[in-house]
Structure 1
Amino acid sequence: MPEPVIPGRSGGLVPLGAADVLWVGLTTESAVPTASAAFTSSPANARVGYVLLGGRVVATVKTSGGQWSVPEIEVRRAAAELNAVEMDCQDLVRIGPFGGAPKKECNETTLLRWRQRITRELQELGHPERAARREGGQPSHLAGIDWRRLLVERTRDRTTRTWCLPRAVVRLLDVAEHTETQWLQAARTCQENTGVTEPPGHGWQARAADGRQTTSPDCSTAPLRPYNRELQGHLYSALSRKPGTSRRVAGWACAICRTAPAAVLDHCHEHGYVRAPVCHSCNTQERPDHLYSNDIRVASRYTRLFDTHTADWLCHWHRCPGCRARTTLPLPHLAAWTAHVACRSLRPTHRDVRGSRARKPCGVLRVSWTGSQSAPGSCLLTIAVDFCPSGEHRVLAQIAYREAATRFGTWLAEAAPAVAAAAGPDRLDGLPARFRPVIADTSGEGLALF
């Protein structure tokens, strides 16, 4: 196939308008939809030194004629990286709203802060004057991604709105936000070392030998460092109060996916120990689907946690010394495992309503427990089915905590022998042989899970 002709291309550089066309053409088959004005509409920062394309920073160049351009090869590399992203549109992550509107206005010279940008733009729809001003301008995008085509809005209780995006997109935007921050920090370091007085992000460039202006090629972003158990055995309550913890966490790669920048410290709420720094996406995937403080809906994503990526998630959960020593999981995770794995054979099936001979699992699994996670050994797990077409099969089983822990230990030795070998002996001593009724903890303290 002949190389397409790009108007205005010179010395490997393409003007911003031509780069827009090139970006769309290269990402036509991408699973993630892209914007048609990635270089020329907000929040592109082409005129302040760079443009974000997916998780890559593409530096801009101002030629001697005053025209802003970008290296064609960098656009192609960003497109290739985006085309390699796989996306499951059913695997959604809630992205907001999480409180009030952002206090600072977002404009072309601010950082990506994609969650705040989405919240601000969606909330503007309720303000006709601001919405009209936006309609008159160019379409908004995030790192070259057309997020509006992927946004899912849900309404709960007919009043509360929530917004969701596919997990792959959330992870990609988190990487973009981190990459931009690191790039600007590196640019400031170059500025200090070269004695340039104008700050990066506001038109700062170094002059190349051929007379055109470009960002310094030595200003490369620092790679994320892998997590190597530096926080093992630390209590979250003590570590979270130390100054500089958030900055330190941001320097690690997520300990689960190992690609996105870490954003939070995941920790065991039952024992209080830090597990590892993780990204928002993995922290959301790991979090149980609570309907109430002691009630979990067992969604389809538990297939990944307990079937397809079992060893990775079990290793992560057993970073907690308490869970590893007892060879078990925190109560919410053990409850989800019991419903999803141990009681799988008890779940009824129904013939597909579309007339095929295939049978599908009945309704939606739900597991609840009595008492509080502060005393898991006294809890009784109840596994039930919601939304059964025939209205049957409400309660499938009731299992005491000790029995659930015993079943998990047996399954762990078969499903992930390496994880089981690294754990301690099966310590069920101290657990009641039978379920002991307890008074439910309704104070709310200690029930804020994950």
Structure 2
Amino acid sequence: MTSLKSSAPPLLFHLYRGVTALLAPFAFRKVAGKLAAHGVTPVRQRERLGYASQPRPTPMSSDDSSAPLLWFHGASVGESLAALSLIDKLAPRLPRAEFLLTSGTASSAEMMAKRMPARCRHQFAPLDSSTAVQRFLRHWQPDAALFVESELWPVTLDAAKHAGVRLALVNARLSDRSVERWKSKPATAAFVMQKFDILLSQNPQMGQTLIELGADAARVHPSGNLKAGSAPLPVDKQALDDLRSALGTRPAWIASSTHQGEEETVIAAHKALLAEFPALCLLLAPRHPERAEEITTLIRKAGLSMARRSEGQPLTADTQIYLADTLGEVGTWYALSPIVFLGGSLAPIGGHNPFEVAQAGAAVITGPGYSNFAETFPPLIAAGGAVEVTDASTLAKAVQNWLQDPTALTKARAAAHDVVTTQAAALEGVVDLLIDHLALAPAAADN
């Protein structure tokens, strides 16, 4: 396959590369401190400098197309899970391929340790500085690299391209702010976009944006959201049984992945619902559990009783709000109740993953700010699998409607599941596109 010729590196790129080289020691000190605070060992912290903590799978020759090493990068948990869904689809087609998954956060590393398939290993991504990236590339020698969503690291992309690595941007999604920032630097944006052999956007609108930023139109393909194909979240059966036993016949609803400024709305909605459903329990799972003290204060100011999971406080008959301030248990919460409000949608965040909710068999409530899933929520809402709300009053009304009408709730749950299943099926063509544009060995050549 003939590669698109990239433009000459603009002056801004040279300046960026020089500055990142100078700042790398300070950047490493900062990221290493964050990793250390989460218990990451010094050896693994040095992965951010490009020092590998695992051997490269053999054979070492990148010319051996029968055993390619495919490098996937996702910044944090959500992107890493999307990468895993793609690895799950590629692995059967490429039975000799090996997979390397990089990310930048300790929480993503913890999640990957639990969910990585065979032939896959995790490393923390190198900083976007020449020395770290070159060290990383010399060790791993990937045949292709797939960057998930919005990770556009100029030094990394340029070095990888010069090393002969075929590049893909998958599940591409740039925020409005990021788009405007790139548009203000058109030469650098085009230089970066032209590094990719293929760009898969979440929707046609984002595909057009990538072209406007300088990507070759022939290489841009709207492909849907890869998160639609993710495996269902794990469920802790014992924890689920314990909570169900504690609730008994009490109704419950979930508010998941909430952000600062949203808990007040959720708590107000729950307080209003208690007037009609006095036994109702809210399970509140903030996006960032470290905000638990702040949220506890809000609950107490509202005059509601609560129990806090991280402190082992039991859910009792008097518990009005159960604060699930832990990580890695969201799948269990979604299995607990068929009514889920997804946060990050009342605050200007962009929304969170509705696929996980629908896969668990629940219906979705969202605020209007779901720009990160602009290709998913409109059909989900149109099908009746999701409801959009704007404030505490409309949120309470949405929950009330489904609590009072089990038949409507059953239909909503089925509609949500159908939409997600349809979008997941549409992703099958993504594998063919990647194998073609990245010149990966087809299954026939591996047998």
TM-based fold match above 0.5: no
With normalisation by structure 1, the TM-score equals: 0.25
More helix by share: 2
Structure 2 length as normaliser, TM-score? 0.25
* Larger-Rg structure: 1
| Greater RCO structure (CA 8 Å; 6+ sep) | 2
